């Protein structure tokens, strides 16, 4: 049975990605960050034999090392990690007063969190598929950036894509494979609010993400960001 | 006409060279330093400091035609890779300095720029921010912070270009000796680029470009 660890599995895309892997017969280690949400417990009740909930805060190396240790207790090999956890952050309207003091928060979760995840779980993945999957975003694409106000979220996703480039350059020749996925504009609950806006439901994004994560490619030595409708994006 | 220029980060080799080159081209230059106690000093990590520096400059130069932002607070010798022990706090600091710092400066100086006629903002960075042209394994703090700066400046460009602003992004040549750091920047910053108004595609001012010290365009 293949094994995957998913960060930010509490709700939205992460929850649906976990569900999609479970449907496909994978063993899922679901990273829990929001302790007072019950969706993961409901999913666990549905798949008691093939799912384990693991506390995981990607903003903390100690938390991820503890998560890796918890996973190690039940499996010798982890095939895949999915970095889905995300912080959304602030937008700064042009020429208006803005507080930049919180800009580091999405960077710490979205970009540095991906690096902490890889560092914490690489020792467990040496014998498996060695696949590293990341939910990124067109919001981090500089080449076709269209927004007209500086955004800590967009900056963090650009930084994430750069971190992945550096990792890819080093790790891909050693047999590691990478998936960068843009889920489209998904109706996601965030910051304590229910979902507002969006074109796709989380389960729709997950239904396109998981096949991309699972399937092998003949061109693993190319790092490409692909969206939920199979379109490729530049960086 | 780019008569009145402010350069934030005038103390390092590139900043000093750019300031001198601008003066040779008849600009009046106010130098803002990033450390020390002489003249106007700005701490890129502090929004209050950026605001205070802009207020101090305003007394010397109430209207600014061109702002040059030259911030680089990262250690060029740090090439740790994902397989090494990484200093995450240092990477946050690099981001705060190199990516968010220039935004603090831009927002603080925006009222002075709005009063000027030149309406140009120039950023000094390095090619380490280019994802498409990145072949390295390490130096996460530098690469990530400068990539994020590229995004931030693109978004500001999208918002400010319709208001009449133009922008430049200049990549220092890290391999060149200190006396050549900042070469060509003044020429790049001051000279207008093709800008035919009848077609939006027939203009090099209507797109933001990352350009190196040899005038070559780099991919994002």
Residue-level pLDDT at B199: 76
Nearest CA in chain B to A148: B159
Across the interface, do A155 and B104 touch by the CB < 8 Å criterion? Answer: no
Q: How far from each other are the two terminal CA atoms of chain A, in whole angstroms?
A: 35
Residue-level pLDDT at A102: 92
pLDDT confidence band for A194 (50 / 70 / 90): confident
Across the interface, do A142 and B107 touch by the CB < 8 Å criterion? Answer: no
Residues of chain B with C-beta less than 8 angstroms from the C-beta of A118: 82
- Distance from the Cα of B179 to chain A's closest Cα (Å) equals 30
> Percentage helix, strand, coil, to 5, in chain A?
40, 20, 40
Q: Within chain B, which residues score under 50 in pLDDT?
A: none
Residue-level pLDDT at B126: 97
Q: How many CB pairs under 8 A join A and B?
A: 129
Secondary structure (DSSP) of A175-206: T-EEEEEE--SB---BTTB---S-SB-HHHHH
Across the interface, do B220 and A112 touch by the CB < 8 Å criterion? Answer: no
**β B166-172/B120-126 pair status:** parallel
The domain tally of chain A equals 1
Distances (CA, A) of B159 to A92, A102, A145, A146, B133: 11, 21, 11, 9, 27
Q: What is the mean pLDDT of residues A130-155?
A: 95
Residue-level pLDDT at A198: 85
Q: At residue A189, does pLDDT exceed 80?
A: no
Read off the tokens for A5. 């660890």
Q: At residue A191, does pLDDT exceed 70?
A: no
Residue-level pLDDT at A190: 72
Facing residue for A142 by CB, picked from B88, B114, B150: B150
Rounded Cα distance, B76 and B142, in Å: 8
By CB neighbour count within 10 A (0-12 exposed, 13-18 middle, 19+ buried), where does B48 fall? exposed
CA atoms within 13 A on the CB side of A219: 3
Read off the tokens for A217. 């490619």
Mean residue pLDDT across chain A: 94
Least confident range from A193-202, A206-215, B86-95, B172-181: namely A193-202
Tokens 């229910």 map to which residue?
A: A194
B205 touches chain A (CB under 8 A): no
In three-state form (DSSP H/G/I as H, E/B as E, the rest C), the secondary structure along A84-113 is CCCCCCCEECCCCCCCHHHCHHHHHHHHHH
Residue-level pLDDT at A234: 97
Q: At residue A94, does pLDDT exceed 90?
A: no
The domain tally of chain B equals 1
Q: What is the mean pLDDT of residues A135-161?
A: 95
Across the interface, do A235 and B104 touch by the CB < 8 Å criterion? Answer: no
CA atoms within 13 A on the CB side of A50: 16
Residue-wise pLDDT tens digits, B150-197: 999 999 999 999 999 999 999 999 899 988 999 999 999 999 999 987
Give the strands of the sheet with A232-233, arranged side by side.
A51-55, A27-32, A3-6, A80-83, A131-135, A177-182, A225-227, A232-233
- Which residue range is the domain that position A118 belongs to? 3-233
CATH number at residue A216: 3.40.50.720
Helix (H) or strand (E) holding A227: strand A225-227
Residue-level pLDDT at B141: 97
Q: At residue A171, does pLDDT exceed 90?
A: yes
Which A residues, 9 through 48, put their C-beta within 8 Å of a C-beta on chain B? none
Residue-wise pLDDT tens digits, A33-79: 999 999 999 999 999 999 999 999 999 999 999 999 999 999 989 99
Residue-level pLDDT at B198: 78
CATH number at residue B165: 3.40.50.720
Residues of chain B with C-beta less than 8 angstroms from the C-beta of A107: 92, 95, 144, 148
B92 touches chain A (CB under 8 A): yes
Residue-level pLDDT at A96: 59
| Mutation target among B131, B157, B206 for the A interface, most CBs of A within 10 A | B131
Residue-level pLDDT at A187: 87
Facing residue for A162 by CB, picked from B96, B131, B159: B131
Residue-wise pLDDT tens digits, A31-41: 999 999 999 99
Q: Which of A161, A169, A98, A155 is nearest to A135 (CA)?
A: A161
Which A residues, 81 through 110, put their C-beta within 8 Å of a C-beta on chain B? 92, 94-95, 97-101, 103-104, 107-108
Task: Determine contact, residues B9/B32, Cβ cutoff 8 Å.
Answer: yes
Residue-level pLDDT at A197: 81
Q: What is the value of pTM for the model shown? A: 0.96
- Which residue range is the domain that position B60 belongs to? 4-218
Higher model confidence: residue A28 or residue A94? Answer: A28
pLDDT confidence band for A192 (50 / 70 / 90): low
Residue-level pLDDT at A91: 65
Nearest CA in chain B to A117: B82
Across the interface, do A95 and B110 touch by the CB < 8 Å criterion? Answer: yes
Q: What is the mean pLDDT of residues A167-187?
A: 96
């Amino acid at each position: 049975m293949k094994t995957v660890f998913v960060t930010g599995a509490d709700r939205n895309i992460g929850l649906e990605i976990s569900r999609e892997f479970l449907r496909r017969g994978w063993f899922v280690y679901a990273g829990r960050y929001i302790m007072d949400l019950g969706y993961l417990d409901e999913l666990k009740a549905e798949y008691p034999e093939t799912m384990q909930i693991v506390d995981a805060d990607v903003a903390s190396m100690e938390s991820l090392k503890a998560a890796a240790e918890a996973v190690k207790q039940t499996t010798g090999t982890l095939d895949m990690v999915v970095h889905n956890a995300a912080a959304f952050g602030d937008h700064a309207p042009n020429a208006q007063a803005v507080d930049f003091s919180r800009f580091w928060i999405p960077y710490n979760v979205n970009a540095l969190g991906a690096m902490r995840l890889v560092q914490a779980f690489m020792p467990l993945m040496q014998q498996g598929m060695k696949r590293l999957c990341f939910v990124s975003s067109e919001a981090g694409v500089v080449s076709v950036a269209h927004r007209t106000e500086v955004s800590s979220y967009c900056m963090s996703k650009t930084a994430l894509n750069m971190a992945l480039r550096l990792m890819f350059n080093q790790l891909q020749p050693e047999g590691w494979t990478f998936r960068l996925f843009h889920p489209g504009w998904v109706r996601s609950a965030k910051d304590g609010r229910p979902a507002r806006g969006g074109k796709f439901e989380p389960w729709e994004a997950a239904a396109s993400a998981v096949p991309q994560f699972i399937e092998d490619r003949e061109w693993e030595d190319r790092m490409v960001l692909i969206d939920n409708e199979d379109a490729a994006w530049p960086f | 006409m780019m008569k009145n220029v402010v350069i934030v980060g005038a103390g390092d080799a590139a900043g000093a060279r750019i300031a001198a080159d601008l003066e040779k081209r008849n600009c009046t230059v106010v130098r803002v330093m990033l450390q020390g106690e002489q003249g106007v000093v700005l701490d890129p990590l502090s929004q209050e400091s950026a605001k205070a520096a802009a207020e101090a400059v305003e007394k010397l130069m109430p209207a600014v035609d061109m702002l040059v932002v030259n911030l680089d607070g990262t250690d060029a010798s740090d090439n740790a890779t994902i397989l090494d022990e990484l200093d995450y706090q240092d990477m946050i600091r690099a981001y705060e300095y190199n990516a968010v710092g220039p935004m603090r400066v831009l927002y603080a100086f925006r009222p002075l720029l709005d009063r000027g006629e030149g309406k140009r903002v120039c950023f000094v960075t390095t090619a380490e921010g280019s994802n498409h042209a990145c072949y390295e394994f390490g130096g996460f703090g530098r690469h990530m912070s400068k990539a994020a700066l590229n995004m931030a400046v693109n978004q500001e460009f999208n918002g400010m270009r319709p208001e009449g602003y133009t922008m430049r992004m200049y990549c220092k040549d890290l391999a060149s000796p200190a006396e050549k750091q900042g070469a060509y920047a003044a020429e790049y910053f001051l000279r207008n680029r093709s800008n035919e108004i009848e077609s939006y595609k027939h203009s090099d001012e209507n797109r933001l470009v990352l350009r190196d010290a040899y005038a070559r365009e780099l991919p994002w």
